[in-house]
Each structure stands twice: as C-alpha cells, then as structure tokens.
Amino acid sequence: MKFAVTSKGDQTSNALMQKVKTYLADFELEYDEDKPDIVISIGGDGTLLYAFHRYKNRLSKTAFVGVHTGHLGFYADWVPSEIEKLVIAIAKTPYQIVEYPLLDVTISYINGNREAKYLALNECTVKSIEGSLVMDLEIKGQLFETFRGDGLCISTPSGSTAYNKALGGAILHPSIEAIQIAEMASINNRVFRTVGSPLILPNHHTCMLKPVNDVDFQITIDHLTLLHKDVKSIQCRVATEKIRFARFRPFPFWKRVRDSFITG
C-alpha cells in the first residue's frame, strides 16, 4: 500500500506527520505523494479540504483518513494519542470505504465556449463584487426566482454543518445525495421576493444561476476564493465523483453533530 501525509503545518501536526511516516515505513508501506492509496490528513477540516483538492483527480483510487490536532472536526475521527493504533490499523486491518457526495460546479462565460469546472467537498458561494447579487435561479431548466441579496451558498451534505448552517440551512446526513441552496441576507419587500428558505435538491436536479446584470463575481470553492468576470451561468449539481474515506471503526455522523454543537 502507498500512503501520503498532509499536515496543518503547526509544530504538533508536523511532529505527528513524521511519526506516521516513520511508523508506516517500519511496516514496509511505501510513501508516495503522487499516487497514494491512502492519505492521512493531520490537522483539522481545513487540512483535509486541502488534501481533497490536491488529490481530486484520484478520488476513485485514493481514500482519506483524518487526525484532528485542534477542535473536533467533521472529517477527522482520530486524535493524536491514537496515532500508534491508527498506524497498526492502516498496516494490518482491511478498511471500510465510506463515500460522501460532492458538488459539481461549472462556470460558463459570455465570450466563447470556455468553461471552468470545479469540485467542492463543502460548498460553493457566489457574491457580487459591488452591490447586491442579482441572479435568476433555475431548477431543472425552469425559472424558480430572481434572487436579490448578499449571495448564495450551495453546499454538500457533509458541508451542511459549515457555512450553510450559519446561514440557517438544514443539516443533512452525508448518505443523502443532494445539494442545498441557502440565501445570504435576501431582499424581500413589496417589489422583490425570494422563497426565503433553504432548498434541498436531489441528485437528478440541476441548479443554474444566471446573472441579471453585468458585474464581476466572487466565487468560493471550499477554501479557494476566485474572481470571475463575464460570467454567463453557474451550474451546480451533485457530482458523479465522490470522496472516499477509510473507516477502521464507526464514526457516527449524528454523534459528531452533537459533540460539535451541543455537548462541546
């Protein structure tokens, strides 16, 4: 088995990374940053997001496992004191694969047939650079509403506990293949109306955002912030690709939600 390790970069995470490399090498596993079978992410959810984007072209071949060195993360189910136990599990135990849905984002431009394609593990957000965001929102090719407000957040089920939750969106279990659209400070009065509630779309529905006016957009894909000009449309749907997690023991989603937001 080939493995790679990513670190948050702090002293604790870097020290654990060196331990993992040494221990797995002792078990005669091969370190390979280019084509790993398993990636051990040491840090927090942000570190795993980084690892996901680094290996997004190998999702069908690479599985991820997380060690959290800070607050409890939604993607990291091991703690530093369990490093030896994790190493033995990786070296000796067949692991179960758990797959989570991803968000497919396709941005089309006014000039030419150029497109930009992205995958998001958590979410995509869209905001205008100046003034309110004004977008026609189409679902399955039908106009649903014209949104006016600060912006829109389109999230995955696993990303529903992140920015989406802060916007009042629902928490979705990652086994549900869906995307969620949440509003950021929508304008609702006698002239302008939006649905005012998060929308959950199944995997066979496509969301299309079309600018009403000619402005530039700030679009985020997880932790990546991008400036886009001359945008014709932004298509969002459940991706055909999935992220694969290596599970060596149960990691109940609702327990993570409870531990993160209720019990502390």
* Phi, psi dihedral angles at 257 (to 5 degrees): -60, -45
Neighbours of 96 (CB within 10 A): 12
- The 3-state DSSP class for residue 240 equals strand
Instruction: List own/partner pairs for 142-146 with CB under 8 A and 24 or more apart.
Output: 144/195, 145/193, 145/194, 145/195, 146/192, 146/194, 146/212
User: Quick check: is 104 catalytic?
Assistant: no
Q: Hey, CA dihedral for 161, 164, 168, 170, is it positive or negative?
A: negative
- Exposed/middle/buried for 92, CB within 10 Å: 0-12, 13-18, 19+? exposed
Two tokens, residue 178: 């869906």
Neighbours of 175 (CB within 10 A): 11
Task: Catalytic residue, from 10, 32, 34, 45: name it.
Answer: 45
Separation of alpha carbons 184 and 68, rounded Å: 30
Neighbours of 173 (CB within 10 A): 12
Residues annotated as catalytic are 45
